[in-house]
A and B are shown apart, each in its own frame.
Chain A
């Protein structure tokens, strides 16, 4: 089973990388970019029997730092 974990910074957590990307986009002349937030995508290939609880645990124990990040799990159809 292919699983995609999307890790994003929590709202309210300042994102220096997102800000730098935003600045660079403006430098390239792109207008109307209101905000940029950078995150991370982690693709897993796991046994079909892997439970949702186990996936959650993988995310909260390692893949995301719950102090500053949220995660979202997407399973490939």
Chain B
């Protein structure tokens, strides 16, 4: 089976090329580049990635405008059909704004933009995205965001934890996120949003390769399925 994926580019996305390169190198197959104004996605997609950046200049709220763009209606429908969707950084913000993931990403508690490598703990290694990691494994992945402070009410947080939907946690507080949550899975397990950038840790030249297993997990999980 040829692995077919799409990387969505919004005006202001700036990690779309890194994301496409990571998918090409680790997952292989065909990577389509899709513009936000396209109302249709390529056929037979296995995997859709929403990249980092500052879509629409973060106007109104980070991810708010992108979540209402034509292509996102198609992404929501694809996710509901079970297509695998990864949102990184601004992509995570878009997924919460589009209602595919619970909660919201607020301004970092320390107000400042945070741009550095952080240590993450793999909270759930039973998901499609994290099967290539060990449970509790500590990995190093960079973050670069101003609005990464994950918020949800306590009942939602309890439910996310109870259902094993916290994929990654920060090993230490980075941005004030509730319960140090760095990455969250959708209720059917086919959607993951995370603030850290796994696509920036694919090979040694980038300073590490701890992000590689995420893309390996996805391709292994989907090709085997």
| Docked CA distance A68–B108 (Å) | 14
- Contact-residue size bin, chain B (C-beta under 8 Å from the other chain): 10 to 19
Assess whether B151 is in contact with A68, with CB atoms less than 8 Å apart.
yes
Instruction: Please report the C-alpha to C-alpha distance between residue A67 and residue B98 in the assembled complex, in whole angstroms.
Output: 12
Known interface pairs A14-B176, A16-B176; A65-B108 also in contact (CB < 8 Å): no
How near does chain A come to B92, taking the closest CB pair, in angstroms? 14
Collect the chain A residues with CB atoms within 8 Å of residue B103's CB.
Answer: 67
**Which partner residue on chain A sits nearest B152 by CB separation?**
A67
Q: Which residues does chain A contribute within 8 Å of B109, judged by CB atoms?
A: 14, 16
Given contacts A65-B97, A67-B152, contact A17 B64 (CB under 8 A): no
Q: Are B110 and A16 in contact (CB under 8 A)?
A: yes
Contact: A16 with B108, CB < 8 Å? Answer: yes
Asked if A36 is at the interface (CB within 8 A of a chain B CB), the reply is no
**Which residues of the partner chain A approach B110 to less than 8 Å between Cβ atoms?**
16
Secondary structure of the B contact surface, majority rule: loop
> Cβ of B111 and Cβ of A62 under 8 Å apart?
no
| Contact of A63 with B by CB under 8 A | yes
* Set of chain B residues within 8 Å of A14, measured between Cβ atoms: 106, 109, 149, 151, 176
CA distance A63 to B108 in the complex (A): 21
Residues from 15 to 34 in A contacting B, C-beta threshold 8 Å: 16-17, 20
- Distance in angstroms from A14 CB to nearest chain B CB is 7
Among B104, B107, B111, B176, which residue has its beta carbon within 8 angstroms of that of A65?
Answer: B104
How many of A's residues come within 8 Å of B, CB to CB?
11
A67 to B153, CA, bound (A): 8
A17 to B111, CA, bound (A): 7
Cβ–Cβ < 8 Å partners of A20 in chain B:
111
In this complex, what residue of A is CB-closest to B97? A65
Residues of B within 8 A of A17 (CB): 107, 111
A54 at the interface (CB under 8 A from B): no
Name B's A-contacting residues (CB within 8 A): 60-61, 64, 68, 96-97, 102-104, 106-111, 149, 151-152, 176
Some 5 contacts from A to B, beta carbons below 8 A apart, are: A16-B109, A62-B60, A62-B68, A67-B96, A68-B104
Known contacts A63-B60, A65-B104; can you find 13 more A-B pairs with CB under 8 A?
A: A13-B151, A14-B176, A16-B149, A16-B176, A17-B107, A61-B68, A62-B60, A65-B61, A65-B64, A67-B102, A67-B103, A67-B104, A67-B151
